[in-house]
Chain A
Amino acid sequence: MKKIIALVFVLSGFSGQAQTTADSTDVSFKKRVLDATEVDFLMSYYKQDGIHSAVAGGNGMEKLTDITPTIVVAMPLNDDDVLTVDVGVSAYSSASSGNINPFDSKTPSPFQASSGASASDMWIGTTVGYSHSSDDRNTIWNAHVSGSVEYDYTSIGFGGGLTKLFNEKNTEVTVSGNVYLDTWKPIYPKELQDFSDNGNSTNGGIYNQFDIVDESGVSKSGYDPSRFTFWNDKKRNSYSLSVSVSQVINKKMQASIFLDVLQQNGLLSTPYQRVYFADADHFYINKFQLADDIERLPDTRFKVPIGARVNYYIDETFVLRTYYRFYTDDWGITAHTANIELPIKITDRFTVFPMYRYYTQQASKYFAPYQQHLSTERYYTSDYDLSSFNAHQYGFGVNYTDIFTGTKIWKFGVKNIDFRYNHYQRSDGLDADIFSIAIKFIRQ
């Protein structure tokens, strides 16, 4: 974190130098795209719980907490160009992923948190973006590169876009593309890993420490998950194309529509998510059921989401913000999302905004609940994120804005503080809460 803060100040200094250079040579009179360096400090705390852990084949606790400190620095390089650096960390602990290996406990159970290595992890990601605006500010192009790493997953990405404004800046069209080249370092359920490591047998590994039993705790032999094989293809590539159109409708209303198409190839399954078959014998160690196989999903997926926003300025106190999205893909999922937010200006500096979001989806054709798949199927998952459900999310936010940046820390003035809290409730029993804060500083 200290390194990140140091980086922010170094970059801020660089930006200051760039501004000086630009100012000394600029002879035209056009408004800068970004007046001064802006630094956003963001942080969120997220916690969830549920009973359908995908790691335990759709039957187990889903406790998870996540903290995400993030810094975004936007620097004007000259009148027209802006460089943006985004660095974020996501540190989480998860009872569910801890059960990739539940056997570090003497009494393994899908409803008990494991203290194993996979119970916590850290994601670190960064994006560097560059944008250039034309002299008349009617054409903007941008490009970015990104990278992220966590224990079992790495990603590099790049992309770019072009925005054109016309009709006296009442209409805006953006076309952009993104590519992510990701790689798994797969980790597998411990019982399957040990079974395979010992030549498809239960002689070695955890099987030397525990007895295999049936549901009632009586010793049982014959555990043979020979359907399990390691994934050979560890790549996951994603290619997306996005088009958006924004339109000022009148003095108080504007709207936009978004269309994305995305093609993914490669390892689209999560390698540590267990599946239990209805037509197979069931084996346990203590109360933890041993996997029959891992999730198997197709190696291609094509997604098409289309969304729209309409914002309406009611009066000096109220603004109405709405959003709707329709989503479909070739795994059989369709989904609808509707969001409404009502910012209320309490004073010239404080705004509160209650919000509500409704989401509903139709299950993937590859999903079946815990222990309902058949071993004869080609594709299967018991990940309830791909099941049919609806979800309600409701909460509020508080925004403080001081356009004069009266409060200062070193060379930076506080322009804006945004806090929000939301509760999320899914019809399959998953509950979550998320707190977020964003503070925007402007270099003086």
Chain B
Amino acid sequence: MKKLLIAGGIFFTLLSCSSVKEYEKEKINDVDMKLSARTSERFETNFQVYREAASGANGGKTGGGCGCN
């Protein structure tokens, strides 16, 4: 766990040196490049929360609000 966090920290620290200008972000701004789940994906995430023990770390809720695991 600690290794993952450290690796992630180093990864993003190094990456933050790069800078893409706004006018260069045509591809980054493509709708399929969004760094979030699709709107229609929420129902799949919902049933997975019920049918699997793991949840969270996907921009949604990690627990509570339902009688699920």
Contacts and interface: CB of A to CB of B under 8 A. Distances in A.
Interface in B1-42: 1, 4-5, 8, 11-12, 15-16, 18-22, 24-25, 27-28, 30-35, 38-42
Contacts of A304: 1
Given A240-B61, A242-B62, A335-B54, 6 more contacts: A167-B19, A254-B33, A259-B57, A311-B32, A343-B32, A391-B52
Contacts of B1: 304, 306, 326, 328
A356 interface: no
B35 A246 contact: yes
B36 to A, nearest CB: 8
Contacts of B21: 168
A412 interface: no
B62 A46 contact: no
B65 A182 contact: yes
Contacts of A72: 39
A107 to B, nearest CB: 29
A33 interface: no
B37 to A, nearest CB: 8
Contacts of A258: 56-59
Nearest to B4: A306
Q: What interface size band does chain B fall in?
A: 35 or more
A260 B43 contact: no
A214 interface: no
A240 B39 contact: no
Contacts of B22: 168-169
Nearest to B48: A359
Nearest to A310: B35
Interface in A356-382: 359, 361, 364
A430 B52 CA distance: 11
B40 A436 contact: yes
B62 A311 contact: no
Nearest to B53: A333
Contact of B20 (A236, A244, A248, A351): A248
Contacts of A325: 54, 56-58
Interface string A131-174: 00000000000000010101011010100000000011111000
Given A251-B28, A326-B4, A351-B32, A436 B44 contact: yes
A385 B20 contact: no
Interface stretch (A7-15, A203-211, A216-224, A414-422): A414-422
Contacts of A328: 1
Contacts of A333: 53-54
Interface of A: 40, 42, 44, 46, 48, 66, 68, 72, 123, 125, 146, 148, 150, 152-153, 155, 157, 167-171, 178-180, 182, 184, 236-238, 240, 242, 244-252, 254-260, 262, 264, 270, 301, 303-309, 311, 313, 319, 321, 323, 325-329, 331, 333, 335, 337, 343, 351, 353, 359, 361, 364, 383, 385-386, 391, 393, 397, 401, 418-420, 422, 424, 426, 430, 432, 434, 436-438, 440
Contact of B40 (A169, A237, A260, A438): A438
Contacts of A307: 56-58
Contact of B63 (A40, A240, A321, A397): A240
B13 to A, nearest CB: 10
Given A258-B59, A391-B52, A250 B39 contact: no
Given A262-B56, A319-B33, A42 B42 contact: yes
